[in-house]
Amino acid sequence: MAIKFSNTFLLRKLHQITGIVPLGIFFFVHMFTNSKAMNGAANFDKAVKEIHDIPYLLLIEIFGIFVPLLFHSIYGVLISSEAKPNVLSYGYARNWFYLLQRVTGMFLFVFILFHLLNLRFGLIPGLTEVAVAGNADKAYGDRRE
């Protein structure tokens, strides 16, 4: 009998924890840093420089963000692939929540993948010539203050 990924208790708990703790902290820091752009390019550049001055940043990014994100994403896709929504048969709110959780998860998977490939690594042809990460001064183009 095949093991369903959605029934593995330990993997489910690890999936929940990687969605809340490291990714939650990353999301908060990411939004806080990006909000500095509302106060001008200089403030945004300063905030990005402060992040890039963190000791062992590459290790933190790999093991604190990318590995949990990779696990959370892959396991989330596996869970979603086993999902059997029944909102058409039973229109209860919980059934809609079940479906919407998986739909938004898949949307976020595609968005975050695109966002990382484009802004962190500059790998989307025609959108960025260079990764914005580490080059915050180029994020504003000619509209610098």
Q: Contact, 26 vs 61, CB < 8 A?
A: no
Give the domain extent around 27.
Answer: 8-138
How far is it between the farthest Cα atoms of the chain? Answer: 63
Alpha-carbon span 44 to 29, nearest angstrom: 13
Backbone angles phi, psi at 133, to 5 degrees: -60, 125
Question: Dihedral through CA 99, CA 103, CA 106, CA 110, nearest 10?
Answer: 180
Residue 91 lies in a domain: yes
Q: Is residue 1 part of a domain?
A: no
Whether 71 has a pLDDT exceeding 90, the answer reads yes
Which segment of 5-14, 19-28, 85-94, 120-129 scores lowest on mean pLDDT? 120-129
Domain count, the chain: 1
Is 104 a member of any domain?
A: yes
Does residue 127 fall inside a structural domain? yes
User: Looking at the domain assignment, is residue 145 inside a domain?
Assistant: no
CA–chain centroid gap for 14, Å, is 16
The whole-number average pLDDT for the span 50-69 is 90
Global model pTM greater than 0.85: no
pLDDT band, residue 133 (cuts 50/70/90): low
